[in-house]
Amino acid sequence: MRPIRFATTALAAAALTAPLAASPAAAEGFGDGHWPPHHSNGKAERLRWAAPHDLHIGTAIAGGGHHTDQDYDPPFASDRTYRTTLARQFDSVSAENQMKWEYIHPERGEYDFEDADRIVDFAARHGQVVRGHTLLWHSQNPDWLEEGDFTDEELRSILKDHITTVVGRYKGRIQQWDVANEIFDGDGELRTEENIWLRRLGPGIIADAFRWTHQADPHAELYFNDYNVEGVNAKSDAYYELSQELLAENVPLHGFSAQGHLSLDYPFPGSMEENLQRFDDLGLGTAVTEVDIRMTLPESGEPTEEQLDTQADYYRRALQACLDVDSCESFTIWGFNDKYSWVPGTFEGQGSATVMTEDYTRKPAFFALHEALKEEKKWPGWPGRGHGGR
């Protein structure tokens, strides 16, 4: 059964036809308040307006994580072009780091909602849905949690309180939560060492996390989320099996998402559509949540034309896999500007992973996404599958 979706298209359209004083541009303090601003590209050149009505096209909002080691100011707070582009191009946003434990729950019993609130408020002003990321993960947990001396019972109640508090705060305002993130390793084994919850409380805690999240926000769609699960492989098989088990136990699991951190150094995962489709066949929603496509850069540090074209093709294929699966209604890229990408800081000599250069010039990958969205809208379901007739 399909989970309930938020109807945002009408909301977003209303925002764009609203009187100037109430327009998102005015609200953000852009230029003369015209929406779109006079210098902008027209509506037709925006991803969110090219997208079929049943697909949310999203991005991560930069902040926290690797950004804190960089010499720029956080762009969401300081860079107008960043915010304008965010509002114009996307109708779904994800918190890149701002809802992770170490940010939102930095001390025991103390929450810091400032950045997460800003994201959720921004999204509401601009007719965007929000993906919440994430509740149960092995990484970016605060020291007080990882190094604390807690009994199992205490740990259980710490997780339950966290979920109840965070999910409850944004009740009705988050479309999808990545409840359990990256719980399997590459061999399809549960991360029972790295993940504090699995190590201490056993695999049963996964179902509890879904149940607690559902209690806190019964309308949010609850997802598994991971990388290297785009195609059919040992890791995605593990999710497929666990999903079946949880569904058989009536656990409120609503979806499976593949992150889509891809690299030109590896072939495109050929079975992506097939993989998403098998989760769709279980009755789950599907989503692609963190797409970026990195490459090893030449000595000049600039990608070649050929690399950019191949990258565009990878982006297009990832989007097409989503478009071709009925339940895939959310496609998110992990940032839209190379300046703010996590890739160069993690993979030495690699970069250019997003769809825009540092000065917001749109790369072939941007146009490939735009073209594929337009085509899907014009010829729904062509050549024969997917979003036809909706």
Summarize as ranges the residues that interact with ligand 9MR (CB under 6 A): 65-66, 96-97, 139-140, 227, 259, 290, 342
Closest contact distance (angstroms) between CB of 103 and ligand 9MR is: 11
Q: Give yes or no for a contact between 256 and 223, defined as CB atoms under 8 angstroms apart.
A: yes
Judged by CB, which is closer to ligand 9MR: 253, or 258?
Answer: 258
- Count CA atoms within 13 Å of residue 135 on its CB side: 32
193 — alpha (psi -120 to 50), left (phi > 0) or beta? alpha
Closest contact distance (angstroms) between CB of 145 and ligand 9MR is: 16
Burial class (CB in 10 A: 0-12, 13-18, 19+), 349: exposed
Closest listed residue to residue 287, CA positions, set 123, 76, 62, 133: 133
- Cβ neighbours of residue 22 under 8 Å, at least 6 residues apart? none
Judged by CB, which is closer to ligand 9MR: 202, or 345?
Answer: 345
* Residue 189 annotated in active site: no
Element (H, E) at 48: helix 47-50
How do strand 285-296 and strand 255-258 relate by DSSP bridges?
A: parallel
Closest contact distance (angstroms) between CB of 336 and ligand 9MR is: 13
End-to-end distance of the chain based on CA atoms, in angstroms?
A: 17
Judged by CB, which is closer to ligand 9MR: 113, or 347?
Answer: 347
| The two structure tokens encoding residue 316 | 């297009």
Judged by CB, which is closer to ligand 9MR: 141, or 277?
Answer: 141
Closest contact distance (angstroms) between CB of 6 and ligand 9MR is: 23
Judged by CB, which is closer to ligand 9MR: 60, or 242?
Answer: 60
Closest contact distance (angstroms) between CB of 64 and ligand 9MR is: 6
For 185, list phi and psi in degrees, rounded to 5.
Answer: -90, -175
- Cβ neighbours of residue 91 under 8 Å, at least 6 residues apart? 8, 9, 12, 48, 51, 56, 57, 58, 127, 128, 129
Burial class (CB in 10 A: 0-12, 13-18, 19+), 350: middle
* Residue 182 annotated in active site: yes
Which residue's C-beta sits nearest to ligand 9MR? Answer: 65
- The residue from 96, 273, 290, 376 that is catalytic is 290
Judged by CB, which is closer to ligand 9MR: 49, or 315?
Answer: 315
Radius of gyration of the chain (CA): 20
Closest contact distance (angstroms) between CB of 95 and ligand 9MR is: 9
- The residue from 102, 182, 230, 329 that is catalytic is 182
Catalytically active residues are 182, 290
